[in-house]
Chain A
Amino acid sequence: MLPIELYEGVESAWCPGCGNFVMLKAFKQALGELDLRPQDILVVSGIGQSSKFPHYLACNTFNGIHGRTLPVGTGARLANPELKVVCVAGDGDCYGEGGNHLLAAFRRNVDLSLVVHNNQVYALTKGQASPTTDPGQKTTLQPQGVPYQPLMALALAVSQGCSWVARGSATDPGHLKELYKQAMAHKGFALLEVLQPCVTFNRVNTYQWYRERVYRVEETPDYDPENELWAYQKAKEWGARIPTGVIYRHPRPILEEAHPALAAGPLVRQQPNRPIDQLLADYL
């Protein structure tokens, strides 16, 4: 167990009361409880309020561009599987701008965690609808109400055989910390969506709104996250009741095992040696 002070980053620019603070603290606690030293961790982010997350931590950081968190994290992880890689994205970043990479991540099953800070709104750009904003909600860009159906990302993940799918909530920090730990301990691609109240731009999905709805799925009698159809039902549940906890688990081989180049250890620790005469032999 390492002290959470070890992960102290630079001063935050988030609004007071933001759900991100709850997440940051729970994440630091999870790192400490997993005995992960800052140098062993790489947090990759994109653009959005959530993407400032790694700056407020002490760890290796790659803060890239909007929507591209997953490919950067995947490349980093394939080059050095000794690093614990966590990709941090928002609902706009991951489910909107970077949607294709999410689909590819389900297929690849690279061993990293993706944490989606889902505040159901675009906060950095001040209040437009995100892919998860509920229909009818009025926003700066949709004054008549959002006409689109929200993306059910967890149901999509289950349908595509994502190897680990969970939801946490900033209204339940202890539970969230455990989910962070499980996501990082899972061997394979772990999708953890976290309900993150935005106190400035989302006046609908507040702490109170989430508190009234979320429940822990593991408290459902006999719930088995390896039962795909049951998991799919839980992943589609959204409204009066919103499940949190590990919704789906589908252990399968990870991408790192499929790359023969990694059998000799991390690429970054290898010393390539390719004699010229051997390279040219095919062309003589």
Chain B
Amino acid sequence: MSVDLNILIGGAAGQGVHAITMPLAKALMRQGCWVLAVQSYESRIRGGHLFNKVRLSDRRLISSREGVDLLVALNQETVTLHQGEVSSRGLIIYDASEVKELPGGIPHLALNPEELLPGATGKAEIAANAGACGAVLGLLRAPLAPTVELLKETFADKGAEVVEWNVKAATRGYDLGKALAFDDSLAQITPPPDPRLLISGHEAMALGALAGGLQFISGYPMTPWTSLLNAVAQRAPRYNVVVEQAEDEIAAINLAIGASYTGARSLTGTSGGGFCLMTEALGLASMTETPLVIVVSGRPGPSTGLPTRTAQGDLSFVLSAGQDDFPRAVLAPGTPAQGFALTARALNLADRYQMPVFLLTDQYFADTQFTHLPGEFPEVEVDRAITTGPSSGTYERYAYTEDGVSPRRLPGFGPELVVADSDEHTPDGHLTEDLQVRVKMHDKRLRKLKTMVPEMGGITTAGDPDAGLTLVCWGSSLGPVQEAVERLQAEKTPARMVHLSDLWPFPQDAVAAALQGTKKLVVAEMNAVGQFHRLLRQETGLKADHLVLKYDGAPFTPEYILGNLSNIA
């Protein structure tokens, strides 16, 4: 029997929603479920409403979906806001000390902190959290032991007493859950022979950066970019990475440029307004031909916008940011495994072509936990493309070359002096007012993009390759669009997905080939005007028959996409 369950765990910030989601999700993943966990949170430390949606199945999951089968409510607001989403087979598990009003007609399980942890005054949150965790497992007939192990790991640094309370509450909750009847059971799902991974987009990118030889990272904290900076920082002492918290985003990018000029593999990143501050130095990186990887993690704008929500609204900006024309590359991963590979590749591209390379993500991609197989994270190649050894004649940092790429040397590695300049410059790096040199040098830089095009591809397809209905998407929209296509296919509506992760320089030929045979072209993306659609039109002349757009800050779901296709599919 196939299982596809959505568990929503909600409460106020500070109630421990995240603290129990991760042990639960991970335990279920280890138990053999495919797990996908989405975070929704507000820009505040305490209070407000936040929730995690954990989807489980015995089949591979690539997307979140709508609907709630188990509503775990740590406060009244969670019930009030989400009761309408509870499915016909659904059930509510709630903290009876917080939740006083329940909707009629939905079965429920009350958890009383005082009963779960008798006498442990002031520990109501632990009782409710761990108790709910246990109750979910009991209800689903899943073993408790793996979760107990994870609770022990998670709370080890809070002391033996806290661990004991968690285990006790989880065990009692488990018994309460087990006593109830529920349609779905995980009893038949068994741990996989080889372990799987539960990993978020930004965590996977941090690993890709490390595998790809990252040595220097600088940044200023800003949601949702911060999670990538944190993930690298936690591993920095072990892997000899210099992490610099910058005084502002302008410093962040200039620090990374300085480190990269000198020869360290460098990455910086930001979100929203932080990237506005970086744009001047973006041109500096391209003008000085300094390799640099820049992560821009999207959230709805303009200005401060919705700081903790998701959007794909920065594509046009990233493609054109900065004065005049200069080469840059733009990549956007669709899954954590793609994020891992693309980050390592971005570091290579930056070194090979001596230009800024963007990685575009967003809050949904950054924070969502996906289940992956370790084999989907293969060894990566590290290509520094640095010239060493004695030079013949005077070294010119910006020597004119056919492919636009000049031999790059590092300062301090020989008598060759490395002269870099933000002014227009002669091949030896010194500033010039010679207008002919300007044209030659500008052409040389732009030539690098043409040289790079054959390396661009990054197309993922799904569905029926001969279908006339094609849904085109990019970056983090991969999962919801792919599931929408799979559901269309299951309903005997032929459809296919064409997903792009390599956005600039635009892989025209590869895209044209992938779209061949399309009768109805749909572009789905998370912004209000269809920024990628504009790019597609600009580069291929193709015009979509229909756009599926979403810009309310909540992620795409297959249901949303299908609902917006009803007139066309």
Closest residue of A by beta carbon distance from B426: A10
A82 to B264, CA, bound (A): 13
Say how far A10's CB is from chain B's closest CB, in angstroms: 5
Say how far B95's CB is from chain A's closest CB, in angstroms: 30
Q: Is the CB of B412 within 8 A of A82?
A: yes
> Which residues of chain B in 251-284 are interfacial with respect to chain A, using CB atoms and an 8 Å cutoff?
251-252, 254-266, 280-281, 284
Q: B87 at interface (Cβ–Cβ under 8 A)?
A: no
Q: Is the CB of A280 within 8 A of B377?
A: yes
Q: Is the CB of A68 within 8 A of B250?
A: yes
> Which residues of chain B in 307-356 are interfacial with respect to chain A, using CB atoms and an 8 Å cutoff?
none
B423 CB contact (under 8 Å) in A38, A63, A77, A264: A63
Q: A75 at interface (Cβ–Cβ under 8 A)?
A: yes
Say how far B255's CB is from chain A's closest CB, in angstroms: 4
Chain A: interface residue total (CB-CB under 8 A): 53
Closest residue of B by beta carbon distance from A11: B430
Q: CB-CB < 8 A to B248: which residues of A?
A: 100
- Chain A 258-281, CB-CB to B under 8 Å as 1, else 0, gives 011110100110101010110110
Say how far A46's CB is from chain B's closest CB, in angstroms: 9
Q: Is the CB of B244 within 8 A of A78?
A: yes
Say how far B336's CB is from chain A's closest CB, in angstroms: 9
B216 CB contact (under 8 Å) in A40, A61, A104, A267: A267
Q: Is the CB of A60 within 8 A of B215?
A: no
Say how far B45's CB is from chain A's closest CB, in angstroms: 26
Interface centre among A63, A70, A74, A270 (most CB of B within 10 A): A63
Q: A175 at interface (Cβ–Cβ under 8 A)?
A: no
Q: Is the CB of A39 within 8 A of B250?
A: no
Q: B196 at interface (Cβ–Cβ under 8 A)?
A: yes
Q: Is the CB of B421 within 8 A of A63?
A: yes
Closest residue of A by beta carbon distance from B206: A279
Say how far B297's CB is from chain A's closest CB, in angstroms: 20
A260 CB contact (under 8 Å) in B203, B237, B258, B378: B237
Interface centre among A55, A62, A260 (most CB of B within 10 A): A62
With A63-B431, A279-B210, A284-B195: A76-B281 Cβ-Cβ less than 8 Å = no
Q: CB-CB < 8 A to A74: which residues of B?
A: 244, 255, 258
Q: A253 at interface (Cβ–Cβ under 8 A)?
A: no
A272 CB contact (under 8 Å) in B213, B252, B261, B262: B213
> Which residues of chain A in 54-110 are interfacial with respect to chain B, using CB atoms and an 8 Å cutoff?
54-55, 58-65, 68, 70-80, 82-83, 100-101, 103-104
Q: B171 at interface (Cβ–Cβ under 8 A)?
A: no
Q: B410 at interface (Cβ–Cβ under 8 A)?
A: yes
Q: Is the CB of B242 within 8 A of A39?
A: no
Q: Is the CB of B418 within 8 A of A60?
A: yes
With A83-B412, A276-B211: A72-B258 Cβ-Cβ less than 8 Å = yes
A267 CB contact (under 8 Å) in B215, B261, B415, B416: B215
A284 to B423, CA, bound (A): 49
Q: A247 at interface (Cβ–Cβ under 8 A)?
A: no
Q: A44 at interface (Cβ–Cβ under 8 A)?
A: yes
Q: Is the CB of B213 within 8 A of A80?
A: no
- Chain B 357-399, CB-CB to A under 8 Å as 1, else 0, gives 0000000000000000010011100100000000000000000
Q: CB-CB < 8 A to B235: which residues of A?
A: 279
Q: Is the CB of B419 within 8 A of A71?
A: no
Q: A234 at interface (Cβ–Cβ under 8 A)?
A: no
Q: A115 at interface (Cβ–Cβ under 8 A)?
A: no
Q: Is the CB of A75 within 8 A of B218?
A: yes
A100 to B451, CA, bound (A): 39
Q: Is the CB of B196 within 8 A of A284?
A: yes
Q: Is the CB of B417 within 8 A of A280?
A: no
Q: Is the CB of A104 within 8 A of B247?
A: yes
With A62-B258, A63-B423: A267-B211 Cβ-Cβ less than 8 Å = no
Q: B420 at interface (Cβ–Cβ under 8 A)?
A: yes
Q: Is the CB of A283 within 8 A of B411?
A: no
Q: Is the CB of B256 within 8 A of A80?
A: no
B261 CB contact (under 8 Å) in A40, A54, A58, A72: A72
Q: B228 at interface (Cβ–Cβ under 8 A)?
A: no
Closest residue of B by beta carbon distance from A59: B417
Closest residue of A by beta carbon distance from B397: A61
- Chain B 283-297, CB-CB to A under 8 Å as 1, else 0, gives 010001000000000
Q: Is the CB of A283 within 8 A of B203?
A: yes
Q: B246 at interface (Cβ–Cβ under 8 A)?
A: yes
Q: Is the CB of B264 within 8 A of A268?
A: yes
Q: CB-CB < 8 A to B413: which residues of A?
A: 268
A34 to B195, CA, bound (A): 59
Q: Is the CB of B254 within 8 A of A71?
A: yes
Q: CB-CB < 8 A to A47: which residues of B?
A: 422
A78 CB contact (under 8 Å) in B210, B239, B259, B431: B259
Q: Is the CB of A55 within 8 A of B430?
A: yes
Q: CB-CB < 8 A to A31: which residues of B?
A: none
Q: Is the CB of A75 within 8 A of B419?
A: no
A260 to B241, CA, bound (A): 8
With A59-B417, A63-B421, A63-B422: A71-B197 Cβ-Cβ less than 8 Å = no
Q: Is the CB of B417 within 8 A of A79?
A: no
Q: Is the CB of B431 within 8 A of A104?
A: no
Q: Is the CB of A100 within 8 A of B251?
A: yes
Q: A52 at interface (Cβ–Cβ under 8 A)?
A: yes
With A65-B280, A283-B198: A78-B216 Cβ-Cβ less than 8 Å = yes
Q: B17 at interface (Cβ–Cβ under 8 A)?
A: no
Q: CB-CB < 8 A to A63: which residues of B?
A: 420-423, 431
Closest residue of A by beta carbon distance from B371: A283
- Chain A 218-256, CB-CB to B under 8 Å as 1, else 0, gives 000000000000000000000000000000000000000
A281 to B203, CA, bound (A): 12
Interface centre among A63, A75, A276 (most CB of B within 10 A): A75
Q: Known contacts A38-B417, A79-B260; can you find 16 more A-B pairs with CB under 8 A? A: A39-B417, A44-B258, A59-B417, A64-B257, A68-B250, A75-B258, A76-B258, A78-B216, A79-B263, A80-B263, A260-B236, A260-B237, A262-B242, A268-B263, A272-B239, A284-B195
Q: Could you name 13 residue pairs across A and B whose Cβ atoms are closer than 8 Å?
A: A42-B412, A73-B258, A75-B260, A78-B259, A83-B412, A261-B240, A264-B240, A267-B216, A267-B259, A272-B239, A274-B211, A279-B211, A284-B197
What 7 pairs between A and B have smallest CB-CB spacing? A75-B258, A71-B254, A79-B264, A60-B411, A72-B258, A268-B263, A75-B259
